[in-house]
Amino acid sequence: MSVTIQEVAEAAGVSKATVSKVLHKSYSISQETCDRVNAVIKELGYQPNRRAQSFATGATKTILFLAEMQHGVGFDNPHLFEIMAGVENALSEKGYGLIVQHSTAVELLRHFDELLQGSYVDGVILHASVVSKDVAICLAHTELPYIVVGAPDFSNQLCWIDTNNSVAGQIAVTHLRRNGYDRIAFIGGPKEDTISAHRLNGALATLNEKIPAGYLREGPPTSEGGAAAARALLALPMQPNAVICANQYIAFGCVNELKVSGIRIPEDMAVITFDDFPFSKIIEPQLSVVNLDMFDMGEQAAKVVLRRIRTPQYLVQSQTTLPILIERQSTKKLL
């Protein structure tokens, strides 16, 4: 038979109310009493009834994570799982659970009240991919604590957190120039890919927007897109001697195409990309990357939403987790 809260109270010589306050880390209970009650809880093996606690306090100790999760979208984005792992790690330290649910911006708008206005979670973390302008309007009027992971690509008054992709682009160009590369191309995703666009903007700012015609390629953010862009660069009268790839999939296709075409990396053309998975350490040569810590961003997002549960007026719009250069063979310094 499981131990009851009454048995804990009797063994510790306190009331049931005091045991409850200790479980909820109330500041009104002395440290001596907390230590005594916690020792009894450990000795008796008492396990709090979380469901009963949620009914008593109105708190579920659960956070909802909304993102596009269908095949071909979320599951092809390793960032998403790094973010979720960081979120779960920070929440578990505070005794919170995590529910992960698929949605799109259209579905979220259609079922907004059902998903976010109910009482089955204490807060919500939304991936930017599910936040449209219409969803943003709804979020601005919700009382449920939330945070958006990824800066929306429109003016807003939302609570959000993001990495600084513009700085990542600047770091890539600065590194290539320092190693002697002066004809720098950029292979990015489609125009609606805001992450790629921010990385390109940072690169252009460092290049003072001086980039030869044909050196800027955009297309599908896939290995096939990277290969096609590499072929286009090799067809130019003056080939670049370095290329920045907006993501690892583009870089994978680009490197393979360069090898097939007899281009030596980095002797003939350097390659640098972003993040440190899934291909950078298994490609030959290993790729230099500008790494962005998605796990840390997930942890920071979780901490913000927990703080907003305690302080509903708390608002943050910030870029955190500065990118870090990891230099490998693919951008070896020119002699």
Judge if 239 and 268 occupy the same domain.
yes
Judge if 287 and 169 occupy the same domain.
yes
Task: Give the pLDDT score at 184.
Answer: 97
In a domain, 90, yes or no: yes
Judge if 19 and 106 occupy the same domain.
no
In a domain, 53, yes or no: no
pLDDT of residue 52 exceeding 80 = no
Judge if 158 and 172 occupy the same domain.
no
Cβ neighbors of 26 (< 8 A, separation 6 or more) are none
Q: Phi-psi bin for 211: left (phi > 0), alpha (psi -120 to 50), beta? A: beta
CATH number at residue 206: 3.40.50.2300
Distance, CA of 287 to CA of 285 (rounded, Å): 6
CA-based nearest residue to 122, from 300, 296, 312, 297: 312
Q: What is the mean pLDDT of residues 283-288?
A: 96
Judge if 177 and 241 occupy the same domain.
yes
Judge if 284 and 299 occupy the same domain.
no
Judge if 180 and 279 occupy the same domain.
yes
Judge if 81 and 221 occupy the same domain.
no
CA-based nearest residue to 166, from 33, 292, 14: 292
Indicate if the alpha-carbon torsion angle 74, 80, 82, 86 is positive or negative. negative
Judge if 95 and 68 occupy the same domain.
yes
Distance, CA of 58 to CA of 203 (rounded, Å): 49
Mean pLDDT of all residues in the chain? 88
pLDDT of residue 327 exceeding 90 = yes
Judge if 88 and 120 occupy the same domain.
yes
pTM above 0.75, yes or no: no
Residue 63 pairs in a beta bridge with 98, 123
Distance, CA of 129 to CA of 68 (rounded, Å): 7
In a domain, 20, yes or no: yes
Q: What are phi and psi of 117, to 5 degrees?
A: -100, -5
In a domain, 333, yes or no: no
Q: What is the mean pLDDT of residues 151-163?
A: 85
CATH number at residue 16: 1.10.260.40
Could you tell me whether strands 62-67 and 97-102 are parallel, antiparallel, or unpaired per DSSP bridges?
A: parallel
Task: Give the pLDDT score at 70.
Answer: 66
pLDDT of residue 145 exceeding 50 = yes
Task: Give the pLDDT score at 86.
Answer: 95
Task: Give the pLDDT score at 325.
Answer: 98
In a domain, 55, yes or no: no
In a domain, 182, yes or no: yes
pLDDT of residue 53 exceeding 80 = no
Domains in the chain, number:
3
* Model confidence band, residue 125 (pLDDT cutoffs 50, 70, 90): very high
Surface-to-core class of residue 262, CB atoms within 10 Å of its CB (0-12 exposed, 13-18 middle, 19+ buried): exposed
**Listed range (46-55, 66-75, 193-202) with the worst mean pLDDT:** 46-55
Most confident of 9-18, 105-114, 143-152, 228-237: 228-237
In a domain, 334, yes or no: no
In a domain, 302, yes or no: yes
Judge if 204 and 157 occupy the same domain.
no
Judge if 175 and 283 occupy the same domain.
yes
* Full domain range(s) for residue 30: 5-48
* Model confidence band, residue 51 (pLDDT cutoffs 50, 70, 90): very low
Q: What is the mean pLDDT of residues 157-173?
A: 93
* Model confidence band, residue 16 (pLDDT cutoffs 50, 70, 90): confident
Task: Give the pLDDT score at 15.
Answer: 87
